[in-house]
Structure 1
């Protein structure tokens, strides 16, 4: 099956041959819609006058669920461009982060989730804030270099990350991002790293023996950063201090609050 989102990621509209397989369910050739696969949400869009509600792999076939029935024949298929660019941005950013994490810090990726409010990467070891800082900086260097995101097939010198499920395809597709990452992948990506714009890591949390890292890329990362900046601005205004002084003032205030609570409890216990 020919997946155009692998070889022509900049293509969002093309003519396809539709074959109905059930009520409001069809297969198309070539495939332009990315299915719900590999932690990346399915594309949406339209085929002819029918809206694409879901795309999934069923028994080795990419099946499109529509909001109405379509007869067999040729139609124009249109991918929701903004949705695809969002998920592709997050996915390409994840490959950069996972590649750097493995090569520079010995961190294996064990899980990936691309969400519309936040995205996560799970690593097999514990990491600290300094590692996160360095990982974020190096990922932004990869973005600034505007490296091509290449697709190659049947490369024998490649491994599948431990989080990857079996890729339901008759070929092995490999995504290569310069020297930063080279791994088997079934997802949709951007065609250069510069299109990502920005990668931000917002938090980490312990997950069994490893670490879950929360990140965002592109416009969503900018919006999240702007929210945090706005919150810091209001906190500085309320405390009458600089950003670097906020933590010290907060810790002093929290300590004072605890002492007052102890004193109140002591008085009530009399």
Structure 2
């Protein structure tokens, strides 16, 4: 099983071992002993970058494996895995902002049930709790900016079953395999923020500034 280095490390360039490589459609599917690449999933797009001199165009979960799709064949052996820094940073800020929106919604009595943290498509879906209160965009933005100013630390741990959890300050942790900022003070501002209630559910659409 591929070790998920991105779970507890933000290092973007590491030496890894290529375990296997085979042609698949117009690309080549690579398995590594360990990877800094976040695969697509959990509401977050995959990282891209390179393995040695070869471009990594997508990373996916497939039948319990992490598969890296590259443009050219790579021989088994040691190589340098390099994650695209700008793409990773954007996804990290989008995912962290989505978690914070979830916490703010919970403070108003709404429970997050779905999340999508893609560039230009960020959205969180909430269902109402028994004491759900009205929540407007300006209210959410004001609280978001307050929490960013507080610069709450992000803590990553494993629960009793070995599942990864992400916590901001003293907020309850969310089970999550995504990438996150080290503390909220480094989080980019929200943009394109819009809230809409439909059929008893609250939908928050958002993006983050570049």
Offset of residue 206 of structure 1: 3.3
SS in 2 for 1:176: strand
Task: Name stretches of at least 5 consecutive residues in structure 1 with no aligned partner.
Answer: 157-170, 220-270
Which residue is 1:70 aligned to?
74
Offset of residue 28 of structure 1: 1.5
Which residue is 1:20 aligned to?
20
Which residue is 2:165 aligned to?
174
Residue in structure 1 matching 2:125, options 122, 125, 133:
122
Larger radius of gyration: 1
Residue in structure 2 matching 1:53, options 57, 60, 63:
57
In structure 2, relative to structure 1, the CA distance for the partners of 1:208 and 1:18 (3 Å cut) is farther
Is 2:110 aligned against 1:113? no
Following superposition of structure 1 onto structure 2, how do residues 59-208 of structure 1 map, counting pairs within 5 Å? Answer: 59-102=63-106, 104-125=107-128, 128=134, 130-155=135-160, 171-200=162-191, 202-208=193-199
Which residue is 1:7 aligned to?
8
Which range moved further: 118-127 or 55-64? Answer: 118-127
Q: Matches of 2:153 and 2:103 in 1, distance apart?
A: 15
Q: Matches of 2:13 and 2:45 in 1, distance apart?
A: 19
Cα pair 2:21 2:74 within 8 Å, conserved: no
Residue deviations 1:241-270 (CA, integer Å, cap 9, x gap) = xxxxxxxxxxxxxxxxxxxxxxxxxxxxxx
Question: What TM-score do you get using the length of structure 2 for normalisation?
Answer: 0.88
Which residue is 1:35 aligned to?
39
Residue deviations 1:43-86 (CA, integer Å, cap 9, x gap) = 00000111111101011111101111111111001100000000
Is 2:201 aligned against 1:210? yes
Offset of residue 184 of structure 1: 0.6
